[in-house]
Amino acid sequence: MPIGKAYLVGAGPGDPGLITVKGLECLRQSNVILHDRLVGEEIMRHAPKGTELIYCGKRPDHHAMTQDEINACLVEKALEGHTVCRLKGGDPIVFGRGAEEALELRKAGVPFEIVPGITSAVAAGVYAGIPVTLRGVASSFAVITGHEDPTKDEASVDWRHLATAVDTLVILMGVGGFASIAEELIAGGRDPQTPVAFVSWATHPRQRTVISTLERGTDDIEKHAIKPPAVITVGDVVQSHSELAWHENRPLSGRRVLVTRTREQASELSRLLSEKGAVAVELPVIRIVEPEDWGPFDQAVDCIDEFDWLVLTSGNGVRAVRDRLLERGLDVRALAGPRIAAIGAKTAEAIENLGIRVDVCPDRYVAEALADQLIGEGIQGKRLLVARAAEARDVLIHRGREAGAEVTVTPVYRTLPANAYEKSIIKELGEGKIDVVTFASSSTVRFFLEMLGEDRAKEALSRAKIACIGPITASTATDAGLRVDIQPEDYTIEGLVEAIVDEYRD
């Protein structure tokens, strides 16, 4: 069996957008991935289907795998012929043990590449509004580990010498030993009032920055319960935080928002919320499955030229139609003939991504608006094929038939309750640790209530604001006895996020 290859990849400090293009390419080429605890789930979603995922994260008090075990695993998997990605938070070399892993691979004759990543030593400051260098303030910086190898006989970091040797000191893994570090820096000549910044979970939505001084830092660690992972910056550049901070000043900074869409759909809403500073907590309460019988849709496609309109009412429906055509050895050419109607901009976008032009798309993304527009097009005596969810509302069907159209409905997917849910998230919701719960469809409301039981669900939701994507979903919620706090004018995911922002705008 031919030898495989290993990639030692820096995933960046936490924000999934900070992994490099090459790092992402290596991740997508690998069939074995060893990842640590600071690599976010969004990055791991890029792993190919069927990839073996091996967790080897380390905390100060617990290591899932020792470094020797990690080295051995890398070599073993590569010698078995696999393409292995060692995915590390930050940069693989900056206190990342990547060089040691590369040496072990070389000894075993395994080809490897090292792909640099953005180190938290720089990124933490950037996201907190603290540059490591600044004209007229700091022209040098040093990155130092605050957690040295405990097997060494004596410390190799000469803190007293470093105290005044450079302008800015960036200390990684130094929270636990900060008291002695600060004492040594002061003894080496640093002013006790030198500004210090502690940046926890740098570049993550839950990033938090505490500004202190060398003298006061130890007390502030305890006062503010600062825990690893945290980056410590020492120097006058810390004063720029008040003017340059941006990450924690975003409109939803620190807000926790529950996303109840399917796991596949949740990523878009979670991404938009994260861009606004929120922590998106995903709790899928629905899942999308195939219809019980594809026969009606297949028969309709086989005589598609007999229809005047093809109506698609959701992005899920578009994807289901595409997948079914491909499964039958067909493509979008099989839909040629009828004009195309979409219920909203996102559905229209999904259709147009298949290379099909949309003829009708209403400004209001509800079935009533689509019915009005189709009736305005003159559908009396016309044949409409509606490809939709099995459980969808019948407004479009009734309105179309009342207008004299012949309407054929073919289910192309079903919406079912999720198989399981994270009980810890429900616990957080009940404890008031979730600020907003989002519902992007009526089915998410119904299945959330069904999943927990109405009484328990209502009790949990009473401690959070409820945001519904549009009037139909809001009506489902209010009919169930829920209070709807947030509803956008634009019934889209983007509109929903903006409405949540408006709710918390100063």
33 bridge partner residues: 53, 85
What token pair was written down for 123?
Answer: 């990124």
pLDDT of residue 41: 78
pLDDT of residue 303: 95
| CA 178 centroid distance within chain | 32
Write out pLDDT tens, residues 223-244.
999 999 999 999 999 999 999 9
What token pair was written down for 36?
Answer: 């640590």
**Confidence grade of residue 60 (pLDDT, cut at 50, 70, 90):** low
Kindly provide the b/e burial profile for residues 65-84, where b requires at least 16 CB atoms within 10 angstroms of the residue's own CB: beeeebbebbbebbbeebbb
Q: Which residue has the tokens 């953005």?
A: 118
**Confidence grade of residue 206 (pLDDT, cut at 50, 70, 90):** confident
pLDDT of residue 276: 94
pLDDT at 309 over 70: yes
pLDDT of residue 150: 47
Q: How far is CA 255 from CA 41, 391, 434, 436, 489, in A?
A: 19, 33, 8, 8, 22
pLDDT at 357 over 60: yes
Catalytic residues: 36, 58, 173
Q: What is the mean pLDDT of residues 359-365?
A: 89
pLDDT of residue 365: 81
Q: How far is it, in rounded angstroms, from Cα 394 to Cα 407?
A: 11
CATH topology of domain 5-118: Cobalt-precorrin-4 Transmethylase; domain 1 (3.40.1010)
Mean pLDDT of the chain: 93
Dihedral pair phi/psi, residue 54, rounded to 5°:
-120, 115
pLDDT at 277 over 70: yes
Q: How far is it, in rounded angstroms, from Cα 66 to Cα 58?
A: 9
pLDDT of residue 506: 66
Type of residue found at 473: T
CATH of 122-249, one of 3.90.1210.10, 2.60.40.1180, 3.30.950.10, 3.40.630.40: 3.30.950.10
Write out pLDDT tens, residues 453-495.
999 999 999 999 999 999 999 999 999 999 999 999 989 999 9
The DSSP result for 271-310, as a single string, is: HHHHHTT-EEEE---EEEE--S--HHHHHHHHTGGG-SEE
Q: What is the helix (H) or strand (E) element at residue 450, kind and residue range?
A: helix 442-452
The three-point CA angle 67-29-114 to 5° equals 45
CATH of 256-285+418-504, one of 1.10.3720.10, 3.30.1600.10, 3.40.50.10090, 3.30.230.10: 3.40.50.10090
Write out pLDDT tens, residues 439-456.
999 999 999 999 889 999
Of residues 40 and 169, the one with the higher pLDDT is 169
Q: What is the mean pLDDT of residues 190-199?
A: 98
Write out pLDDT tens, residues 318-344.
999 999 999 999 999 999 999 999 998
Write out pLDDT tens, residues 120-131.
999 999 999 999
Q: What is the mean pLDDT of residues 217-222?
A: 98
pLDDT of residue 42: 81
Q: How far is it, in rounded angstroms, from Cα 309 to Cα 371?
A: 12
Q: How far is it, in rounded angstroms, from Cα 106 to Cα 104?
A: 5
E-only strand ranges, 11-90: 32-35, 52-55, 58-59, 62-63, 83-88
What token pair was written down for 313?
Answer: 């009412």
Sheet hosting strand 279-282, strand order edge to edge: 279-282, 256-259, 436-439, 465-468
pLDDT of residue 421: 81
Burial of 280 (0-12, 13-18, 19+ CB in 10 A): buried
**pLDDT winner (highest mean) among 61-75, 291-305, 352-366:** 291-305
Shortest CA distance to 117 belongs to which of 155, 148, 85, 161?
85
**Confidence grade of residue 90 (pLDDT, cut at 50, 70, 90):** very high
Domain segments of the chain as ranges: 5-118, 122-249, 256-285+418-504, 290-416
Q: Which residue has the tokens 């945290």?
A: 230
Burial of 231 (0-12, 13-18, 19+ CB in 10 A): buried
pLDDT of residue 62: 62
Least confident residue range of 54-58, 66-70, 300-304, 359-363 = 54-58
Q: Are 216 and 239 in contact (CB under 8 A)?
A: no
Least confident residue range of 106-110, 154-158, 410-414, 437-441 = 154-158
What token pair was written down for 302?
Answer: 């086989």
Type of residue found at 427: K
Q: How far is it, in rounded angstroms, from Cα 368 to Cα 355?
A: 27
Q: What percent of the chain has pLDDT over 70?
A: 97
Of residues 5 and 261, the one with the higher pLDDT is 5
For 283, other C-beta atoms within 10 Å of its C-beta total: 23
Q: How far is CA 291 from CA 258, 327, 332, 335, 412, in A?
A: 28, 14, 20, 19, 6
Q: What is the mean pLDDT of residues 271-292?
A: 92
pLDDT of residue 342: 95
pLDDT of residue 149: 54
* CATH 3.30.43.10 for the 290-416 domain, yes or no: no
Same fold for the domain at 256-285+418-504 and the one at 290-416?
A: yes
Q: How far is it, in rounded angstroms, from Cα 2 to Cα 298?
A: 46
pLDDT at 201 over 50: yes
Residue 229's SS3 state is coil
pLDDT of residue 267: 82
340 bridge partner residues: 310
Q: How far is it, in rounded angstroms, from Cα 432 to Cα 240?
A: 34
pLDDT of residue 61: 59
pLDDT of residue 316: 92
Shortest CA distance to 458 belongs to which of 438, 480, 443?
480
Q: Cα-Cα-Cα-Cα dihedral of 196, 202, 203, 204, to 10°?
A: -140
What token pair was written down for 450?
Answer: 């069904």
pLDDT of residue 144: 97
Of residues 156 and 362, the one with the higher pLDDT is 362
